[in-house]
Amino acid sequence: MNDERHPVVTFIAVLGAIAAAVFTSWCTVIAFVGGTMPIIGYEAEGGFFSGIFWVFVVDPIVITVAYWIAMVVVLPFAALASARDAWRDRHR
């Protein structure tokens, strides 16, 4: 079996990972200093304990949900790329 990933699948996975990292970093900074969270619109007061809570409780949940969303998006592309490659190999 070929273990190489299709370039489109790799690009989508990397793009999703970068987006999740930027979003969680941005939200973590806002949890420490206060303000409105992007996309979700949650208003944070800010402070040390709020930031620590965000780092140890909320960030792992956000990263896990982002991973699940990435899998739901990437797996169909990976399956299509694999099926296309298998079809191409059979019809050579």
Q: Is residue 80 part of a domain?
A: yes
Q: Note the pLDDT of residue 3.
A: 62
Q: Is residue 5 part of a domain?
A: no
What's the mean pLDDT when you consider all of the chain? 86
Contacts of 13 by beta carbon, 8 Å cutoff, 6+ apart: 5, 70, 74
Q: Is residue 49 part of a domain?
A: yes
pTM of this structure:
0.73
Q: Is residue 20 part of a domain?
A: yes
The answer to whether 78 and 5 have CB atoms below 8 angstroms apart is yes
Q: Is residue 75 part of a domain?
A: yes
Residue 35 DSSP SS3: strand
pLDDT digit string, tens, across residues 57-90: 999 999 999 889 888 888 888 788 778 777 877 8
**Region 16-26: what's the mean pLDDT?**
91
Backbone phi, psi, residue 47, to 5°: 130, 165
Q: Note the pLDDT of residue 1.
A: 47
Residue 44: in which H helix or E strand, if any?
strand 43-44
Domain that holds residue 76: 12-85
Looking at the structure of the chain, the number of domains it has is 1
The answer to whether 2 and 60 have CB atoms below 8 angstroms apart is no
Q: Is residue 2 part of a domain?
A: no
Which two tokens mark 85?
A: 């490659």
